[in-house]
């Protein structure tokens, strides 16, 4: 086949425009070379299209960075963004969540109730597992400004590590890590640990794929003791390797992190501490609907909705989907689509979901899109998601629409709900195209 008819990489890639400045520079360098070749051929009276195209392609490939080099550049970008956000939030005194996490460490060490209001120290209340306070100790004892920056860098690099573990192609990885940045920034600016939750759910799957069961068992355990729903990653162990040994590793990891407060507490105090945590969760559950499916329905219908009833329906769908995959034994064919399903499901049915929490659901949407066929429906859903869910908190998004429609009606959740329904249908009624795309 003629080289001219093969469509070279620079044009065939759907992600070509996304390298922005780098590709623009290459574009002008390459096409300047093309013009030189063209006029040289013109002067001698003939144009060899195959020769021109081959020279152009070879010239372009000289400027193509390797995937590892690209990853280093992206990591530098992520660290730079995290550092800027950290200093910005510190100078603006906009790091309330960091203060909550930091002061919870000192409350824990001083045997104070972690779950009371401390209005002289911070706004809001601490709702995390007591073990999270132990895990946060390295940041709590730093000078506040350094602690804030260290925390934002930790959040972003952990997320970067999790996405890289997916082993996507160079262009897909670039697509993911660049376009997810606005959503990641929203979460990091709020000092939230949600990117870590998303990364550890992904790492649970990718580490299991390497048969590193011991290491993989750590991620759902840490997640659970940061935010309880993060432990959902445990379901992948049952589907991937349903053995007693696997479950034993999970049990040991959970027991180890569960016991961390015993470093500072006697057993009787430890029991009281966990009772206080459960009480705080109950109080939070009774007042929130969040930016979730429940919040979406409530705001659109202008009526109260049963949070527990809606969540039970969501749990029902999840258990049906899990059971179908287990009994069909097709996990290997659809593991990344199911990973997307879990990442979205755990947020849209979460009564405490906030805008910064959507980095978890957004991660699921990106994985779904990159692992699925690019049908018109899928592309349309992804574009709708990117505009409403990812970009709506951004200053580039029209403020009038955000303040009068997106925020009041919890519309940030809508694209994720629609995509979850699409994935739900595909998992229960799989097609050959879904199976083949999931292997990509």
Span 49-61, average pLDDT = 61
Flag whether pLDDT at 60 surpasses 80.
no
Residue of 197, 95, 212 whose CA lies nearest to 151: 95
Percentage of residues of the chain with pLDDT beyond 90: 63
CA atoms in the 13 A half-sphere facing the CB of 214: 0
Length of the chain, in residues: 440
pLDDT band at residue 281 using 50, 70 and 90 as cut-offs: confident
**Mean pLDDT lowest among 36-50, 226-240, 330-344:** 36-50
DSSP collapsed to 3 states, 335-379: HHHHHHHHHHHHHHCCCCCCHHHHHHHHHHHHHHHHHCCCCHHHH
The confidence score (pLDDT) of residue 322 equals 95
| pTM for the structure as a whole | 0.84
Number of H helices, E strands in the chain: 23, 0
The confidence score (pLDDT) of residue 106 equals 94
- Strand, coil or helix: 28: helix
H or E element that contains 23: helix 21-43
Flag whether pLDDT at 45 surpasses 70.
no
Cα–Cα dist 33/54, whole Å: 12
Q: Is residue 364 part of a domain?
A: yes
Flag whether pLDDT at 157 surpasses 80.
yes
Among 64, 79, 108, where does a domain finish? 64
Domain that holds residue 55: 3-64
Please give the span between the terminal C-alpha atoms of the chain, in angstroms, as a whole number: 26
The confidence score (pLDDT) of residue 352 equals 83
The confidence score (pLDDT) of residue 7 equals 36
Measured between alpha carbons, how far is residue 306 from residues 78, 195, 203 in Å?
40, 29, 34
In contact, 430 and 329? CB cutoff 8 Å: no
pLDDT band at residue 280 using 50, 70 and 90 as cut-offs: confident
pLDDT band at residue 17 using 50, 70 and 90 as cut-offs: very low
The confidence score (pLDDT) of residue 252 equals 94
255-263, long-range: CB < 8 A, 24+ apart = 256/221, 257/131, 257/221, 257/222, 257/224, 257/225, 258/131, 258/225, 260/130, 260/131, 260/134, 260/135, 260/225, 261/108, 261/130, 261/131, 261/133, 261/134, 263/134
Cα–Cα dist 229/58, whole Å: 50
Flag whether pLDDT at 203 surpasses 90.
yes
CA atoms in the 13 A half-sphere facing the CB of 208: 29
DSSP collapsed to 3 states, 84-113: HHHHHHHHCCCCHHHHHHHHHHHHHHCCCC
Flag whether pLDDT at 47 surpasses 60.
no
Q: Is residue 36 part of a domain?
A: yes
Q: Answer left, alpha or beta for residue 410, where phi above 0 means left and psi between -120 and 50 means alpha.
A: left
Q: Is residue 181 part of a domain?
A: no
The confidence score (pLDDT) of residue 20 equals 44
pLDDT band at residue 66 using 50, 70 and 90 as cut-offs: confident
- What is the tally of structural domains in the chain? 2
Write down the mean pLDDT value for the chain.
85
Q: Is residue 327 part of a domain?
A: yes
The confidence score (pLDDT) of residue 304 equals 77
Which of the pair, 49 or 191, is modelled with greater confidence? 191
Q: Is residue 258 part of a domain?
A: no
The confidence score (pLDDT) of residue 36 equals 58
Cα–Cα dist 375/197, whole Å: 30
Among 11, 31, 64, where does a domain finish? 64
Q: Is residue 339 part of a domain?
A: yes
CB proximity list for 117: less than 8 A, separation 6 or greater: 125
**Is 125 exposed, middle or buried (CB count within 10 Å of its CB: 0-12, 13-18, 19+)?**
middle
The confidence score (pLDDT) of residue 21 equals 45
The confidence score (pLDDT) of residue 1 equals 36
H or E element that contains 50: helix 49-63
Measured over the CA atoms of residue 91, residue 95, residue 100 and residue 105, the dihedral's sign is negative
CA atoms in the 13 A half-sphere facing the CB of 190: 16
Cα–Cα dist 117/111, whole Å: 15
Span 37-44, average pLDDT = 53
Among 64, 82, 109, where does a domain finish? 64
- In this structure, how many other beta carbons lie within 10 angstroms of the beta carbon of residue 83? 15
The confidence score (pLDDT) of residue 286 equals 55
The string of pLDDT tens digits covering residues 382-424 is: 999 999 999 999 888 999 999 999 988 889 999 999 999 999 9
Percentage of residues of the chain with pLDDT beyond 70: 82
Q: Is residue 365 part of a domain?
A: yes
Q: Is residue 433 part of a domain?
A: yes
The string of pLDDT tens digits covering residues 330-372 is: 999 999 999 999 999 999 999 888 999 999 999 999 999 999 9
pLDDT band at residue 58 using 50, 70 and 90 as cut-offs: low
DSSP assignments along 231-294, one per residue? GGGGHHHHHH--SHHHHHHHHHHHHHHHTGGGGTS-HHHHHHHHHHHHHHHHHHHHH---SSHH
């Amino acid at each position: 086949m003629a080289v001219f008819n093969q469509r070279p990489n620079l044009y065939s890639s759907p992600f070509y425009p996304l390298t922005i400045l780098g590709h623009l520079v290459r574009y002008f360098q390459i096409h300047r070379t093309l013009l030189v070749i063209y006029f040289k051929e013109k002067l001698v009276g003939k144009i060899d299209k195959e020769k021109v195209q081959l020279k152009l392609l070879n010239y372009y490939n000289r400027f193509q960075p390797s995937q590892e080099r690209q990853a280093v550049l992206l990591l530098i970008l992520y660290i730079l963004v995290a550092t800027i956000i950290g200093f910005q939030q510190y100078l603006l005194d906009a790091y309330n969540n960091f203060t909550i996490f930091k002061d919870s460490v000192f409350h824990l060490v001083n045997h104070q109730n972690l779950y009371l209001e401390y209005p002289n120290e911070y706004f809001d209340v601490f709702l995390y597992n007591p073990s999270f306070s132990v895990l946060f100790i390295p940041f709590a004892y730093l000078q506040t400004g350094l602690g804030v920056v260290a925390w934002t860098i930790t959040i972003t690099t952990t997320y970067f590590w999790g996405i890289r573990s997916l082993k996507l192609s160079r262009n897909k990885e670039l697509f993911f890590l660049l376009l997810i940045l606005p959503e990641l920034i929203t979460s990091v600016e709020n000092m939230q640990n949600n990117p870590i939750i998303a990364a550890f759910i992904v790492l649970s799957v990718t580490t299991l794929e390497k048969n590193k069961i011991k290491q993989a068992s750590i991620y759902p355990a840490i997640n659970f003791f940061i935010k309880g729903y993060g432990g959902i990653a445990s379901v992948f162990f049952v589907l991937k390797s349903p053995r007693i040994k696997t479950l034993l590793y999970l049990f040991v990891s959970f027991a180890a992190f569960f016991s961390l407060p015993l470093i500072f507490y006697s057993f009787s105090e430890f029991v009281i501490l966990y009772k206080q945590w459960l009480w705080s969760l109950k109080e939070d559950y009774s007042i929130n609907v969040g930016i979730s499916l429940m919040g979406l329905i409530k705001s659109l219908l202008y009526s109260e909705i049963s949070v527990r009833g809606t969540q039970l329906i969501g749990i029902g769908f999840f258990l049906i989907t899990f059971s179908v995959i287990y009994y069909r034994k097709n996990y290997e064919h659809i593991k990344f689509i199911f990973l997307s399903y879990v990442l979205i499901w755990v947020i849209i049915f979460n009564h405490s979901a906030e805008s910064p929490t959507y980095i978890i659901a957004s991660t699921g949407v990106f994985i779904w899109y990159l692992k699925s066929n690019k049908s018109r429906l899928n592309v349309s859903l992804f574009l709708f998601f990117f505009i409403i869910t990812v970009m709506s908190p951004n200053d580039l998004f029209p403020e009038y629409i955000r303040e009068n429609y997106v925020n009041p009606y919890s519309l940030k959740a809508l694209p994720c709900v629609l995509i979850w329904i699409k994935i739900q249908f595909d998992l229960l009624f799989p097609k050959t195209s879904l199976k083949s795309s999931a292997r990509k």
